[in-house]
Amino acid sequence: MPAKEQRTLVLVKPDGLQRGLMGAIISRLEQRGLKPVAMKLILIDTALARRHYAAHEGKAFFPGLVQFITSSPVVAMVWQGKGAVEVVRQLMGATDPLKSAPGTLRGDYGLDIGRNLVHGSDSPEAAEREVALFFSQKEIVDWPRSVEPWITEP
């Protein structure tokens, strides 16, 4: 991975998958210039959900969050690119879809904070931790993309 590039975890949550928005979400990430390096459809078990959302343990919404993320399959992905963490955060929009700008995933497709379609790591440190929760190093494919010079400067 080039030095200025980052990797970040993105989850298409159960509502995004159930609503048939997986393709739209992946398409928007690709159109922005990010490169997928890992992807799989999984059922998150309670143990993984609790580890993933450990920062929220003890909060009133934690049990519902765990119940929701384990209720249906998710698409877990690792995306790579210059400033990938921030790019994904901007593209997702505010956690509450009603406060998300048009043009963001949540602003275009969401209505409810509890059904906000997608998760993205909130910092480079969180991205590293979250990627390791969902993917082994063998599952991440570092591949050359011929269009790179047309997306970012060397």
Residues belonging to the active site: 119
Exposure pattern of 49-77 as b/e (b: 16+ CB <10 Å)? bbebbeeeeeeeebeebbebbbeebbbbb
Tokens representing 148? 């790179």
Helix (H) or strand (E) holding 78: strand 74-82
Strand order in the sheet with 74-82: 35-42, 74-82, 5-12, 118-120
Q: Distance (Å, rounded) from C-alpha 15 to C-alpha 6?
A: 27
Q: Distance (Å, rounded) from C-alpha 93 to C-alpha 79?
A: 17
